[in-house]
Amino acid sequence: MCGICGIFNLDGEPVPHRYVRAMTDALAHRGPDDEGYYIDVNLALGHRRLAVLDPTPAGHQPMASRDGNVVLVYNGEIYNHLELRLELEAQGYQFKSRTDTEVLLKGYEAWGIDLVKRLNGMFAFGLWDARHRTLYLVRDRYGIKPLYWTRAGNTLIFASEIKAILTHPKVSAEINPDALNEYFTFQNLFRYHTLFKNINLLQAASVRWISEKEPELRKETWWDYDFVNRDEGMSFEEATGETLRLFRQAVTRQLMSDVPVGSYLSGGLDSGSIVAVAASHIPRLATFTCGFDLSRVTGVEANYDERREAELISCLFKTEHYQQVVNASDISWALPLLVWHLEDLKLGMSYPNYCVARLASKFVKVCLSGTGGDELYAGYPWRYYRVFGAIGKEDYLRQYYGFWQRLVPDREKPLLFIEDLWKQVRDRDTFQTFRRVFSFNERLKYDSPEEHVASSLYFEIKTFLPGLLVVEDKLSMAHGLEERVPFLDNDFVGFSQSIPVRHKLANLEKIKRMDENETRKLRRYHEFDEGKNVLRTAMSTLLPERITRRAKQGFSAPDESWYRGEAVEYLKEILLNKRAAFRDFLNPHFVVRILDDHIAGKKNYRLLLWSFLCFEWWCRIFLDGQRPEGTLTQLHPGPGGG
């Protein structure tokens, strides 16, 4: 796991060493073990290494081929690299290291860029082919490892994190109004732009390449999810048996390491299943749980702490267990650092992720995560049930779009944005942005409840899951910790997509028979919390029923209560400040109304308040140059607000 960066001057102008050095220094937290540079006149590559496989100098990057014509900077893990190595050795290739980096390098020599189709793992890399003066940028199937790029005149710049790009003198931090509109609609970005003007996220499962002879950046997408071609003849027993087999295989594959490996343990089905398998291979497996101070929390949030269930699993599998307790005051110290590392704001409250990664990094270099199980096995049934009664595609899209306006509905956008910004975005239809996600797969269907669920699975795994992955990568690598996701194994993903919807949702037939005209039906939908039925049944051989039949619970702090109680003074300090940076973009009267309504208990605005806090710190840090304490990277702030 590492940080990578590069500069390509397409006009032939030499790249000063200090430019790539500054970019690489900005990624030091991602790779504290080693650093390296490569310059070929107008092309420069930089690398910071977190040594996990073969931590000897043989794994130093940038890594070059024997003849020096191919040079690679790479971030990630290739779990089938040993199989690929055997295949390459059979063709006569010889290896000097035990790294997967060298397998990628020689794999390109053998198979060209089509090598990516053979890879099972998480990766982002930049590859320089000096013979053809061509630079390739590549990202893994699922978008586990981030890679950002921008074009500044005749210069292409890329890096694992945006802050590295912002060190280049041709790039300054400016806001992207379209992305801001999208963020305050979905609390996420569904397109591959960012909040930074002209800085883009490389699409998952894609290759981009550019050369001196053809200076336009070209793209090829080489894989996509497929929930359409389900095996409707598959029995429930076949589905559970193969799920268990492939899951064991996936976890075992991802244990490969020359440094200590641990696992997050929330007390739920997904992380508990990972621990069950991993503990059978690693004696005294280190496990890590984040709990919450609930002493002043009421209502549903009083059950948010999962430490008891995590301790049960830890005792069952004899793990070496560590816990972090987060309290309401932690947000004030964590938030500036979190936004600095996250850069590209996505999704809800994530400071618990930051805290538990910080804890884990004190004991291990690699940590397993349960991300992906919900998206593959229909873990959010209350979302899908909202569109069960849709009639055709348009009705389905409109209903689902209504649900996914997580922050500010379209009708309130003129109140949210200041007048100048609203003029820039008023004609940008976020519904069309939402619809575009479904257009990536023209074979999706909308003529039955099962097809509605399949289409919803596709949408969420293309939008919500990538947001989670970016958050988890950035906040783990902030502490030099590699995070792995066994649910996103090629064989496991391939099989999970083929399972019939009726096996994933235990109450599918009951829901289909519900009267759509029934009053309070949404409350009844929430009673049917039997998503992931196949996975629950498969894992019942590993975990007690108390765990496998627990209702779904997200990893979230009790912010609704804290924002009305212990943390309310912090919210007021940040959001009611008459010199707040967000005022250059957002209407302060709207922000005040939201805060007042939340404090008064009129509505739960925890998600929107979190986004206001994050955006305020984003403006301070990246537009105004207010770096959090302990961060040294020199950026080029933009011109500020409107």
Residues annotated as catalytic are 2
Task: State both tokens at 527.
Answer: 């009673």
Residue 497: count other Cβ atoms within 10 Å of its Cβ.
19
Q: If you write DSSP's letter for every residue of 325-370 in order, what string do you get?
A: EE-TTHHHHHHHHHHHHH-S--SS--HHHHHHHHHHTTT-SEEE--
Nearest alpha carbon to residue 367 among 454, 519, 485, 457: 485
Nearest alpha carbon to residue 568 among 602, 603, 606, 617: 606
Task: State both tokens at 18.
Answer: 């200090």
Please tell me whether residue 399 adopts helix, strand or coil conformation. Answer: helix
Contact present, 582 and 591 (Cβ < 8 Å): yes
Pairing outcome for strands 121-129 and 134-139? antiparallel
Strands (E) across 246-336 are located at 261-264, 286-292, 320-326
DSSP state of 622: I
Residue 133: count other Cβ atoms within 10 Å of its Cβ.
19
Residue partners of 290: CB distance under 8 A and separation at least 6:
266, 323, 324, 325, 326, 352, 353, 355, 356, 359, 555
First to last CA, the chain: 39
The residue with tokens 């074009």 is: 151
Question: Which residues are 149's β-sheet partners?
Answer: 158, 200
Residue partners of 504: CB distance under 8 A and separation at least 6:
377, 378, 453, 531, 532, 533, 534
Pairing outcome for strands 70-78 and 121-129? antiparallel
Whole-angstrom distance, CA of residue 501 vs CA of residue 458: 12
Contact present, 46 and 4 (Cβ < 8 Å): yes
Rg (CA), the chain: 24
Identify residue 20 by its one-letter amino acid code: V
Burial tier of 436 (Cβ tally within 10 Å: 0-12, 13-18, 19+): exposed
DSSP state of 202: P
Please tell me whether residue 19 adopts helix, strand or coil conformation. Answer: helix
| Type and span of the H or E element at 45 | strand 43-49
Residue 260: count other Cβ atoms within 10 Å of its Cβ.
13
The pairs formed by 592-596 with CB atoms below 8 angstroms and a separation of 24 or more are 595/571
Query: Can you say whether the dihedral through the CA atoms of 610, 615, 620, 621 is positive or negative?
Result: positive
Q: What is the largest CA-CA distance in the chain?
A: 72
Whole-angstrom distance, CA of residue 129 vs CA of residue 221: 20
Give ∠ CA 188-192-195 in degrees, rounded to 5: 60
